[in-house]
Chain A
Amino acid sequence: MAGQPLIEMQDVAFGYRGGGTLLGGMELALQPGSFHFLTGPSGSGKTTFLKLLTGELTPSTGRITAFGRDLAELGRDGIAALRRRMGVVHQDPQFLDHLPLVENIALPLTVARQPVDVPALKGLMAWVGLTGHAKTLPPALSGGERQRAALARAVILSPDLVLADEPTGNLDEEMSMRLMQLLVELNRSGKTVLLATHDLNLIRALKPMVAARVLRIAGGRVQLAGADL
């Protein structure tokens, strides 16, 4: 029997000002420990969908609950607390360019006023293959290194949920698979993962490795994808 969903959407609709409805009638329940792909063509609303989950955007109608809390009822501090329970990896991850990589990865600990566990931090950097880049400034990193650093930063607070928005968009196939494997490992350790990607080949390559559901945005609605994938 399924437990309380980490994320739940009920009849959610969203549209940018003056742009009509982009997404509508969305229903979703992300169960703890699940792995979901979110796919759809470019411009279909994948990024918007994720921004709704992180509180960066407010739905026009409907209700989104995260960790049992209605996002509409959260203040700015509440949204900040929510984001500390979510790790987010963007397609073009942003860092504080004046800080070395190790401090960037540890930044969520700083803002959460938590002490830095140095061995754990070193272990995390080793996990994403960035041990030798601790003192490197972000602008000196390659695209793949930035994505892995973003993943390390996203999981340093041990969030319950990891959201990844086209994290392989700028990576070659080998680097993409390496990053995907890290996400699969996270899921096997009990984390809930929602991965947005337009790359169907990537989904097909990963499906044998993880029990995942595939959601597709089509016609402004989120649907469970069929066996054609």
Chain B
Amino acid sequence: MTRLAQGQPRPGRGANLPKIGALNPKALWSGLVSGEGGAGDRMVPRTGATAMLVLLTSGAMAFLAVFALALTFATGRLADRWAEGLARTMTIRITAPQDVADAEARRVLDILAQTPGVAEARTVSQEEMQELLLPWFGPDMPVDALPIPRLVELTLDGGGPDVDNLELRLEGEVPDAVLDDHTRWREPLVTAATRLRSLGWMSLGLIAVTAAGMISLAAQASLAANGGVIRVLRLIGARDLTIAGAFVRRFTRRAALGALGGALLGMLAIAALPDMDQAGTFLTGLGFTGASWLWPLLIPVFAAGIAFLATRRAAIRRLREIP
């Protein structure tokens, strides 16, 4: 007896589908270097719109990724520099009338000379003070006339001095002197730099996710536009991986090429920024140093990996719909 027929096109059989999550380095490499124009690649027509979309998207994302990477490295360096540099110095501020301040500064220097953990101590000169205040008061302000405290800068040695003892001694011998170990403003700065570095990594992650989404959309558009091609290939006995491979190779190569162009442009733009040594500020420090210039060159490889996975996933999903 014939059961009520519920026939339908042969569905995809999940158990027999290839694993789509796995990144096969051999296939990825093949996608990057195998020649365009082989019969396998020619199975898929070149579609200008999606080709340009993938090239531009991966190029733009790589360009942005270079800056995000530079930001990450710069904030990392900044955090390290602030943490390390400020931890190696302390300041003693002497707030006293001019005629007394010089004598108290000398006394402080004497005390510091006897204090273990202090490698060097010096009074910050009037010229240096003027230079420090120049950005706020301008060149015409008579700084001499201002009640500016004397500053003594300490460079620390080893673990530094016993801060509590030093503070007690200063309090007893030079009551106008106040020790500042920079903790109060060093910690927020280091925290800010560390958070900026985290934001840089998050930006890189977002760029990767956005690139994957865009490439996936472009791949889906291409797969939809080539539905007829895929059906013909299935009917003549092409395996899913053979069909998917033709799309994956093309998109992987395009993404890698676009990202390479974008990364190189980004590196040129970074290199064109003012030298960080000239001003030493955060923005001019946005760049790569030494071997870190190699990091942006990894971006095209990551872009290729992202395109490989995104296209492969989109292709296998699409193929499941075709018997």
Chain A residues proximal to chain B, CB less than 8 Å: 13-17, 19-22, 24-25, 54-61, 75-84, 88, 94-99, 103, 106-108, 110-113, 153, 157
Contacts and interface: CB of A to CB of B under 8 A. Distances in A.
Interface of B: 2-13, 15-17, 39-40, 42-43, 45-46, 228-229, 231-240, 242, 319, 323
Contacts of B229: 96
Contact of A22 (B5, B45, B237, B239): B5
24 contacts: A13-B2, A13-B3, A14-B7, A15-B7, A16-B7, A16-B8, A24-B5, A56-B9, A57-B10, A58-B9, A61-B2, A79-B323, A80-B239, A82-B237, A83-B234, A83-B235, A96-B229, A96-B232, A98-B45, A98-B46, A103-B39, A107-B39, A108-B236, A108-B237
A75 B13 contact: yes
A56 B3 contact: no
Given A110-B40, A111-B242, A21 B9 contact: no
Given A58-B7, A80-B234, A103-B42, 5 more contacts: A55-B323, A78-B16, A80-B238, A98-B46, A103-B39
A78 B239 CA distance: 9
Given A56-B323, A111-B233, A20 B5 contact: yes
B237 A77 contact: no
Contact of B228 (A21, A25, A94, A108): A94
A50 to B, nearest CB: 11
- When A and B form their complex, which 7 residue pairs have the shortest distance between CB atoms, in order from nearest? A15-B5, A75-B16, A84-B237, A83-B237, A111-B238, A60-B5, A98-B45
Nearest to A83: B237
Contacts of A97: 45
Which of the listed residues A24, A61, A81 has the most CB atoms from chain B within 10 Å of its own CB?
A61
Contacts of A59: 7
Contacts of B239: 76-77, 80, 111
A88 B235 contact: yes
Contacts of B238: 80, 111
A76 B13 contact: yes
Contacts of A57: 7-10, 323
A61 B233 CA distance: 28
A170 B15 CA distance: 41
Contact of A96 (B16, B40, B45): B45
B39 A110 contact: yes
A39 B16 CA distance: 35
B237 A24 contact: no
B236 A96 contact: no
Given A14-B7, A15-B7, A96-B232, A76 B237 contact: no
A88 B232 CA distance: 11
A113 B237 CA distance: 11
Given A56-B10, A83-B236, A21 B42 contact: no
B16 A76 contact: yes
Contacts of B42: 98-99, 103
Given A78-B16, A79-B10, A25 B2 contact: yes
A195 to B, nearest CB: 18
B263 to A, nearest CB: 32
A20 to B, nearest CB: 7
Given A77-B16, A96-B45, A107 B6 contact: no
Contacts of B39: 103, 106-107, 110
A88 B236 CA distance: 8
